[in-house]
Amino acid sequence: RKQFSLQIQITQFGLDQKVMLVKDITERKRVETMRQNFIADVSHELRTPLTVINGYLEMLDDMELPPSLQKAITQMNGQGLRMKSLVNDLIELSKLESANTEQLGDWFNLQQLGYSVVDQLQAYSANRITFKCTQAIEIQGFSDEMSSVLTNLLTNAIKYGGEDKIEFSIRSGFDGVKVSISDHGAGIPAQHISRLTERFYRVDDSRESTVGGSGLGLAIVKHALEHHDTVLDIESTLGKGSTFSFIISSERSRVMEKD
């Protein structure tokens, strides 16, 4: 039995007229699935040889070697680690892309998750993160994906957010729970903002080449947030800094009563 994918769009004209457009997107879906499977397979295949190469490089890096060789080994070691993080990001992204988006996930404590992510990054950030979340808040979703969202957004604030404080807050409001991460860095030129969540998109490659990164972080964030029925909002002012935020709807969030 052959399966078809159809895209249906209904447009209302005036009060009593509607136009329905039905598009056959079977072929587009098939090609997209092939692309996703290809990336997933290649990145899995790369992981094993890379682990072996990196293991030996790390061992060599710890040895007493002639200075010229030492420099080469240190550089190879650095690039090897960069490749490992790229492959891991690719694997994470393909998992997110092929995940079943109909599931709602389990309830978990977002406040606790916030504290644990901050704990892991505080040393790397030179204690620049201030975290505010005064209530025990639970959300329904996937804690590993949410952990990755928070880690990616905070890591970006550390990398691109200058030397100032980074403000991370989780607050409950009338429309749900708002998570917000603000930095006081250089900001992002307006024309780039809508493209930041595309795979491999980086604002300025020459500038960023000194700051390690794959350009996949915000694509991962976007997909993980889709699984929580929400979107990433980005506000930025040049010279002042950027705020990355999202709202988890009140159907998927709740404040725990104090006992």
- Residues within the interface to ligand ADP (CB under 6 A): 152, 156-157, 160-161, 183, 185, 188, 196, 201-203, 208, 213-218, 242
Least distance in angstroms from the C-beta of 183 to ligand ADP: 5
Residue 88, H or E segment:
helix 67-98
Nearer to ligand ADP, 60 or 83 (CB): 83
Tell me how crowded residue 92 is: count the other CB atoms within 10 A of its CB.
21
Q: Please, which residues have CB within 8 angstroms of residue 224's CB and are 6 or more apart in sequence?
A: 96, 142, 145, 146, 148, 149
Least distance in angstroms from the C-beta of 240 to ligand ADP: 11
Least distance in angstroms from the C-beta of 189 to ligand ADP: 10
- Best CA proximity match to 129, nearest among 172, 184, 198: 184
What is the spatial distance between Cα 235 and Cα 197, in angstroms, rounded to a whole number? 14
Q: Radius of gyration of the chain from Cα atoms?
A: 22
Partnered with residue 140 across adjacent β-strands are 107
Nearer to ligand ADP, 109 or 243 (CB): 243
Least distance in angstroms from the C-beta of 185 to ligand ADP: 5
Q: Which two tokens stand for residue 117?
A: 């992510």
Least distance in angstroms from the C-beta of 123 to ligand ADP: 19
Nearer to ligand ADP, 222 or 252 (CB): 222
Nearer to ligand ADP, 75 or 85 (CB): 85
Nearer to ligand ADP, 29 or 178 (CB): 178
Partnered with residue 236 across adjacent β-strands are 242
Nearer to ligand ADP, 60 or 203 (CB): 203
Least distance in angstroms from the C-beta of 168 to ligand ADP: 12
Sign of the torsion formed by the C-alpha atoms of 81, 85, 90 and 92: positive
Which residue carries 């991962």 as its tokens? 220
Is 103 within 8 Å of 66 (Cβ atoms)?
no
Is 234 within 8 Å of 183 (Cβ atoms)?
no
